[in-house]
């Protein structure tokens, strides 16, 4: 098995400018931001003056440089609370969050485009005019949902955070996509799937990017290592007879992509198809770029003609 390495491409509003000494310097629209990056074990190529020109720097103590602790942004006075960005045919807001990211994950765009191709294949080969039904669990600010719906899918977007759902609504409105078939739900992922099983609802595709730890809207606990295997084994019960895909992505665990690969193979063996897995990485925008891995993933797809 050869791992796949996915790279985001065709971004005008995002780039990795430089990295090194445990940090990365990125451009989000017109602004540069410096964030911790434990994998950047090399030296920075660009000058200190350029790095010091960052609009925002996320500060942590040395004990939490492993992306698991608290921290805070040091922002320059001229930085707006949020600003507009775009990718392909969707628009969305960027904003510095307490979780050190900017409200979305640009490296996820290869998954968005892959899903768009699956939706297109479904539309060509489907025997009816109904759009494919996609479930986006842990949907956060909604870019994957927006992109899939804009390409012809009917999307159910689920997140346990009311704040995240509100953010997703704002991105939908910014893109002028209020007419698209996207259902936004604030719910606990496991409870939602159990209810969908009882209701007999089915989906043609499922997107998952679960956190390591989380809380449901009613205080439900989510612990990835304990709850993800339970969730995965429930998914075949809400899949259509000829499902299109499942995407399982993770920023949350320090593990090989093999852990996701074999978990997904086990769950989807009754459907046949194939699983590919690997890492997502970003290249520096330089003549001799270095590469930083950002996430691991596994994707199942139906191999029907």
pLDDT band for position 128 (50/70/90)?
Answer: low
Question: Over 60: is that where the pLDDT of 67 sits?
Answer: no
* Spatial separation of the C-alpha atoms in residues 86 and 108, rounded to whole Å: 14
The SS3 call for residue 300 is strand
What is the pLDDT, as a whole number, of residue 62? 57
Encode pLDDT of 19-51 as tens digits.
999 999 999 999 999 999 999 999 999 999 999
What is the pLDDT, as a whole number, of residue 124? 74
Residues β-bridged to residue 113: none
Encode pLDDT of 188-220 as tens digits.
999 999 999 999 999 999 999 999 988 888 888
Percent of the chain with pLDDT over 90: 85
Measured CA to CA in angstroms, residue 246 lies from 32, 241, 300 at distances of 34, 14, 5
What is the pLDDT, as a whole number, of residue 129? 74
What is the pLDDT, as a whole number, of residue 188? 96
Name which CATH class applies to 4-82: mainly beta
What is the pLDDT, as a whole number, of residue 64? 42
Work out the mean pLDDT of the chain and round it to a whole number.
93
* Spatial separation of the C-alpha atoms in residues 176 and 50, rounded to whole Å: 36
Encode pLDDT of 273-282 as tens digits.
999 999 999 9
CATH superfamily of 106-301: Vaccinia Virus protein VP39 (3.40.50.150)
pLDDT band for position 2 (50/70/90)?
Answer: confident
> Which tokens go with 113?
């485009």
Question: Over 70: is that where the pLDDT of 126 sits?
Answer: no
* Spatial separation of the C-alpha atoms in residues 24 and 300, rounded to whole Å: 31
What is the pLDDT, as a whole number, of residue 255? 81
The SS3 call for residue 197 is helix
Q: Which residues contact 227 (CB under 8 A, 6 or more apart)?
A: 190, 210
* Spatial separation of the C-alpha atoms in residues 237 and 97, rounded to whole Å: 36
Spell out the domain ranges in the chain.
4-82, 106-301
Q: Which residues contact 119 (CB under 8 A, 6 or more apart)?
A: 131, 132, 134, 148, 151, 152, 153, 244
Residue 202: name the closest of 160, 235, 246 by CA: 235
């Amino acid at each position: 098995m050869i791992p796949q390495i996915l790279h985001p491409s065709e971004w005008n509003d995002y780039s990795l400018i430089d990295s090194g000494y445990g940090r990365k310097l990125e451009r989000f629209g017109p602004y540069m931001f410096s964030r911790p990056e434990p994998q950047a074990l090399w030296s920075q190529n660009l000058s200190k003056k350029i790095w010091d020109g960052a609009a925002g720097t996320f500060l942590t103590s040395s004990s939490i440089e492993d992306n698991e602790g608290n921290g805070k942004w040091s922002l320059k006075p001229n930085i707006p609370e949020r600003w507009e960005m775009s990718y392909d045919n969707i628009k969305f807001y960027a904003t510095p969050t307490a979780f050190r990211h900017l409200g979305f994950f640009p490296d996820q765009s290869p998954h968005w485009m892959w899903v768009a191709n699956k939706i297109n294949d479904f539309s060509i080969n489907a025997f009816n005019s109904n759009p494919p039904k996609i479930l986006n669990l842990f949907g956060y600010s909604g870019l994957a949902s927006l992109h899939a719906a804009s390409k012809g899918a009917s999307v159910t977007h689920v997140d346990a955070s009311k704040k995240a759902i509100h953010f997703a609504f704002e991105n939908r409105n910014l893109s002028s996509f209020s007419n698209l078939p996207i259902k936004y739900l604030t719910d606990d992922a496991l409870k939602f799937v159990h209810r969908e099983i009882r209701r007999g609802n089915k989906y043609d595709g499922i997107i998952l990017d679960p956190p390591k730890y989380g809380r449901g809207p009613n205080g439900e606990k989510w612990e990835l290592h304990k709850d993800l295997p339970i969730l995965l084994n429930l998914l075949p019960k809400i899949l259509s007879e000829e499902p299109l895909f499942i995407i399982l992505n993770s920023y949350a665990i320090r593990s090989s992509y093999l852990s996701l690969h074999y978990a997904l193979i086990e769950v989807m063996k009754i459907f046949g198809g194939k699983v590919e897995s690997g890492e997502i990485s970003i290249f520096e925008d330089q003549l001799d770029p270095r590469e930083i891995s950002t996430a691991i993933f596994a994707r199942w797809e139906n191999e029907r003609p």
